[in-house]
């Protein structure tokens, strides 16, 4: 439904612009000042509508990125996905599920870097996820994954693991508390 409304507005703006252009051309040909002035006004209104629409779209897109949503980087199992909501945030990287309880302020973000080698196990990847006041780093070297939370190293993890970071910022991996 939203897309239909956007399409209708775009069609209306294009029609107003074309009508303005036609009035301008006809006004110039017939040497009618009221017609070409009306044409210029129509073209200006269409241009202003385009600028307003662009500003609204950019504002809507920025607002949408600031509210709970999903950011997806990479592809397949190795990509990063992030969900940030009220009271908790979730993320997934290299097949590991992360849940952060009461992530605090600071928003969310993620980045990933990969380096591929020729031999087996020569690929490397680094995923950084920021959820509120929690900074998670998952590093992959070959098939080995390691976890760091807020610059503290929590050792090896595996695909399929579930990591919970509670309000006290304790790290629980598959329900077991792990110390740095």
For residue 118, pLDDT over 70 is answered with no
Mark whether 104 and 135 lie in a shared domain.
yes
For residue 127, pLDDT over 60 is answered with yes
In this predicted model, what pLDDT tens digit does every residue of 52-110 receive, in sequence order? 777 777 766 555 544 444 444 333 445 677 776 667 888 888 888 988 888 877 777 77
H/E run at residue 11? helix 2-30
pLDDT at 104: 76
For residue 138, pLDDT over 80 is answered with yes
pLDDT at 130: 86
For residue 161, pLDDT over 80 is answered with yes
Q: What is the overall mean pLDDT for the chain?
A: 79
Mark whether 15 and 99 lie in a shared domain.
no
* CB-based contacts of 12-18 (< 8 A; 24+ apart in sequence): 13/46, 13/49, 13/50, 13/53, 14/46, 16/42, 16/45, 16/46, 16/49, 17/42, 17/43, 17/46, 17/47
- Residue that has been written with the tokens 């780093």 in this structure: 137
- The residue ranking higher by pLDDT, 107 or 48, is 48
Mark whether 162 and 111 lie in a shared domain.
yes
Mark whether 53 and 95 lie in a shared domain.
no
DSSP, collapsed to helix, strand or coil, labels residue 17 as: helix
Mark whether 86 and 161 lie in a shared domain.
yes
pLDDT at 114: 76
Mark whether 62 and 81 lie in a shared domain.
no
Domains held by the chain: number = 2
Q: Looking at 44, 66, 88, which one is the last position of a domain?
A: 66
Average pLDDT estimate for 16-24: 83
Mark whether 79 and 60 lie in a shared domain.
no
Q: Looking at 17, 48, 66, which one is the last position of a domain?
A: 66
Q: Of 42-51, 101-110, 111-120, which range is least confident?
A: 111-120
Mark whether 54 and 90 lie in a shared domain.
no
Average pLDDT estimate for 27-54: 84
Q: Looking at 46, 66, 86, which one is the last position of a domain?
A: 66
Mark whether 90 and 62 lie in a shared domain.
no
Domain that holds residue 96: 70-178
Mark whether 62 and 80 lie in a shared domain.
no
Confidence tier at 18 by pLDDT (50, 70, 90): confident
Mark whether 87 and 57 lie in a shared domain.
no
Mark whether 83 and 139 lie in a shared domain.
yes
């Amino acid at each position: 439904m939203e897309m239909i409304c956007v399409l209708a507005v775009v069609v209306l703006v294009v029609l107003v612009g074309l009508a303005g252009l036609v009035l301008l051309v006809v006004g110039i040909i017939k040497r009618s000042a009221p017609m070409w002035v009306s044409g210029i006004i129509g073209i200006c209104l269409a241009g202003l509508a385009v600028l307003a629409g662009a500003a609204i779209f950019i504002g809507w897109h920025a607002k949408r990125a600031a509210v709970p949503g999903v950011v997806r980087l990479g592809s397949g199992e190795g990509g990063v996905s992030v969900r940030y909501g009220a009271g908790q945030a979730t993320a997934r990287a290299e097949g590991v599920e992360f849940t952060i309880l009461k992530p605090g302020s600071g928003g969310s973000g993620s980045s990933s870097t990969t380096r591929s080698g020729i031999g087996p196990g020569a690929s490397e990847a680094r995923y950084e996820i920021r959820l509120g006041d929690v900074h998670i780093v998952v590093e992959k070297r070959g098939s080995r994954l390691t976890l760091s939370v807020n610059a503290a190293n929590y050792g090896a993890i595996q695909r399929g693991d579930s990591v919970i970071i509670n309000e006290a910022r304790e790290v629980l991996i598959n329900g077991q508390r792990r110390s740095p």
